[in-house]
Structure 1
Amino acid sequence: MNIEQLRDFLCVAETLNLTLAADRRNTTQSNLSKRLRSLETYLGRILIDRRSRPVSLTPAGEDFVPKARQVLFEIDAFRGGSAPWSPSEGGISIVMPHSATVAVFPRFRERLSHGMSGIHFAPRIANHDTAARLLVRSDTDLAIVTRHPQVPIDEDFTVFQPADIATDRLVVVEPPEAGDAVLPLHVPHPLTYIGRMWEASRIPLPATDEVPHGMAAYIRAHCLAGRARGVLPESLVEADIAAGRLAVRHTNASMDYVISLFCAPRASRRARQVWALCADAMSNSPHMVWFLLAMLCRRQGRGCNEGSDRVDGQLRQHSTLRGTAWTSATPNNATSTGSPRSTTMPSPIRRRSGTRRRSTTPIA
């Protein structure tokens, strides 16, 4: 077995189409099939049902998808072994739901990288309640969490202040030619957080049956295969919608939600700076957050420069117009000349974790 066979398998799992997968992997279909069979031989399990049209994953294949993703995750992290992963060296650990790995986190990281050299993330996939436990114990620096007004978040999160970094919404997608055809409806599992969001805002749809899934990628794959409707985060399928591979079924239901960044009590200083800047920027102007992040990046590692005063000046001007207060996010509370500044970064903690009450309602 080699790593490329894992990538081959995940590509097929995403597309459920051998021809399309072969094209994406820059190989022939026969070559791809040989590599997949080699992987199945190594594992001693049949992963793909080739008798169905389109192809589908066997139960073993569905079980193997998250394992394959995690293996690639770990290998990619190890390949960056020369990067400073530990908090003491400037690395930032971050957890997020699987759906955020496709668009939300890459955009967050890419925007951050425009001006922030030397910042490295150690990402990890975690569901809602796992992320809450990791955050409380400071086993992660940051957590990306989805929040919906009608679905309570885990009680552990109420200890922390959220910094809203993005918005998204659940959409019902279908094959472009579906019309009012009655099709299976693939939905997030009700034990997941986005599954609970769907339960809170569900709408009647023409469906033969409702099929729950633990991972949004499975729902997308069934919809792309042209045999189902699905309920998915819009950010996960926006490229498919733009390319005409999927269409949004318009509804009157409001399924918008917020994506927030939380910071652990003992997070690294750089993680706290990223969180504080997001919190300040979003409270003053959501549209300025990425500009401010870039400015913070340019200041880090070289001390503060005149850019920090420009950032603070623009935010003070903007906050004056909004009638809100602005707290400087300059690291180390220093001016460009290094003199102390009587401002503090906002706190990511609302109250001591020792005062929190445990939730009696399990939330995934």
Structure 2
Amino acid sequence: MDIKWLEDFLSLTQTRNFSRSAQERNVTQSALSRRIRALEAWVGADLVDRSTYPLVLTPAGKLFSSSATDAMRLLNDARSLLRIESKDENMLSISAGHTLSLNFLPKWLGAIEARHGQLRTRVLPANVHDSVLSLVEGNCDLLLCYYHSDLPIELDPARFEFINLGGEIVMPVSIPKRSGFAAFPLPGNRLAPTSHLAYTAGSFFARVVERIVARVDQPCFLSNTYESDLAELLKTMALSGLGLAWLPESCIKRELNEGKLVAAGGEQWNMTMEIRLFRALDNRKPALQRLWDMLKQP
């Protein structure tokens, strides 16, 4: 049982509306519905009466709501106590997406340490939603994430600040043919759609690809043949010749240089993302302040 299921359910008990709870939990409505179904399967009973509007809890749901509230209170109290007892003022915890954790963060930390000495860091790889939530709830000191004005990270500027660490191009790639051109080119055609190694619906990079395709003034014909949340896994599938995939350039730099992957379309199919580092303004950890002051220096 995933603790997020309890948080989803308790949100639903307050809003009595799947759409509003989905917005509150920053997930799609279909994802929220799947998680509530999973919780019901774990409990072994229907918790929500979906035949009414606004929805109501079943008798089992009312009983479970009380238990879930108590369980979350006890868990949060224990977490708060453990944070106080195990707090290390010299350790910086960084929550970051899987791609940034693998391809950007190690080199960035290495460059920082080469200039200013060793840092004690703990890296917490997670999806975008969980990374943002980790910062908001005080579970990490820093949030490293991609940012684009079309896909903003909604953090209150009165509570959080950021530094721009650079940029990253997300581009479609494919193995090459003998001619050197992409084996799976864009935009494809109606009779023979291009095999597409896609990101799972609702994931951050899935939204990136949706925005790219929507803004290109040209029909695009794709056939999703494989889906995953992980860019590294889609890269492996692309290298196996199973289709094209939109991937961050840092993830495929070596493969592009070696000619194992090539661009599957022109620059109109690319999107340049910012790489941002966020912190909470009320986090007074000395090690964090020293790092932030250093990063803000010209």
Category of TM-score, reference length = shorter chain: 0.5 to 0.7
Q: Which segment drifts farther, 267-276 or 101-110?
A: 267-276
Q: C-alpha deviations, 1:163-196, integer Å up to 9, x for none?
A: 0112001100000111648542112223122221
1:277: Cα distance to partner? 2.8
CA distance in 1, matches of 2:135, 2:143: 7
CA distance in 1, matches of 2:147, 2:246: 17
In the alignment, what sits opposite 2:132?
132
- AA aligned to 2:262 is A
Please tell me whether the aligned partners of residues 170 and 272 of structure 2 are also in contact (alpha carbons under 8 angstroms).
yes
Please tell me whether the aligned partners of residues 186 and 212 of structure 1 are also in contact (alpha carbons under 8 angstroms).
yes
In the alignment, what sits opposite 1:343?
none
Please tell me whether the aligned partners of residues 101 and 123 of structure 2 are also in contact (alpha carbons under 8 angstroms).
no
Aligned-pair Cα RMSD in Å: 2.4
In the alignment, what sits opposite 1:268?
285
Q: Provide closer, same or farther for how the CA distance between residues 92 and 197 of structure 1 changes in structure 2, counting only shifts above 3 A.
A: same
1:111: Cα distance to partner? 0.2
In the alignment, what sits opposite 1:42?
none
- AA aligned to 1:260 is R
Q: Given the alignment, which residue of 246, 250, 260 partners 1:231?
A: 246
1:157: Cα distance to partner? 7.2
The gaps in structure 2 that reach 5 residues or longer are: 1-85, 178-182
- AA aligned to 1:189 is T
Partner secondary structure for residue 195 of structure 2 = strand
Partner secondary structure for residue 115 of structure 1 = helix
Q: C-alpha deviations, 1:223-267, integer Å up to 9, x for none?
A: 011121101111111111111111112322451110100113325
Q: State the TM-score, normalized to the length of structure 2.
A: 0.60
Aligned residues: 196
Q: Given the alignment, which residue of 148, 171, 188 partners 2:199?
A: 188
Q: State the TM-score, normalized to the length of structure 1.
A: 0.49
Partner secondary structure for residue 226 of structure 1 = coil
Partner secondary structure for residue 201 of structure 1 = helix
In the alignment, what sits opposite 1:117?
117
CA distance in 2, matches of 1:212, 1:276: 41
Please tell me whether the aligned partners of residues 184 and 243 of structure 2 are also in contact (alpha carbons under 8 angstroms).
no
Q: Provide closer, same or farther for how the CA distance between residues 190 and 166 of structure 1 changes in structure 2, counting only shifts above 3 A.
A: farther
CA distance in 2, matches of 1:179, 1:194: 20
After TM superposition, list the pairs within 5 Å mapping 1:47-58 onto structure 2.
none
After TM superposition, list the pairs within 5 Å mapping 1:95-244 onto structure 2.
95-155=95-155, 159-177=159-177, 178=183, 180=185, 183-202=194-213, 204-205=219-220, 207-209=222-224, 211-244=226-259
CA distance in 1, matches of 2:201, 2:114: 38
| Percent of paired sites with the same residue | 18
The gaps in structure 1 that reach 5 residues or longer are: 1-84, 282-364
1:155: Cα distance to partner? 4.3
CA distance in 2, matches of 1:214, 1:179: 21
